């Protein structure tokens, strides 16, 4: 196979229905009233530690980081943004629900 060189940026293989522009689209920032957020406490894959997870976001990464920082400050605990969800260390479901509702988001707790 000597003599064959691949040019930079050239598509070698592509699945049917996958469009290059679909991969590059940024998520649209929806207004807070149009979100359906789920707040739940979980320990799966966290080494036995409880984290409060907020899922259902449809905002850009920058907005998600700002909201996560505000929630961490209000709860007085650490946290992170993973896979489009906010994780706050500890079980802070009532406090997070209160903060998100005061910001205008539609949110509800899930699980026991």
| Residue 25 pLDDT | 55
Domain spanning 28-109 has what CATH number?
3.30.780.10
Tell me the mean pLDDT in the region 95-111: 92
**E-assigned strand segments in the chain:** 37-42, 51-55, 79-82, 85-89, 107-109
Is the pLDDT score of 71 beyond 70? yes
Summary mean pLDDT of the chain: 83
Of 46 and 104, more confident: 104
% of residues, the chain, pLDDT over 70: 75
107-109 and 37-42 strand pairing: parallel
Question: Token match 């050239």: residue?
Answer: 10
Rounded Cα distance, 52 and 42, in Å? 6
């Amino acid at each position: 196979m000597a003599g064959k060189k691949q040019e930079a940026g050239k598509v070698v293989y592509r699945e049917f229905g996958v469009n290059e522009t679909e991969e590059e689209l940024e998520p649209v920032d929806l207004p807070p009233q149009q979100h359906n957020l789920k707040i739940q406490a979980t320990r799966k894959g966290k080494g036995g530690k409880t984290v409060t997870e907020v899922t259902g976001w449809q905002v850009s990464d920058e907005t998600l980081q700002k909201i996560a920082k505000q929630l961490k400050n209000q709860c007085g605990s650490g946290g992170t943004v993973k896979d489009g969800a906010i994780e706050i260390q500890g079980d802070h479901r009532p406090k997070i629900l209160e903060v998100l509702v005061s910001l205008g988001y539609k949110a509800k707790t899930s699980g026991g």
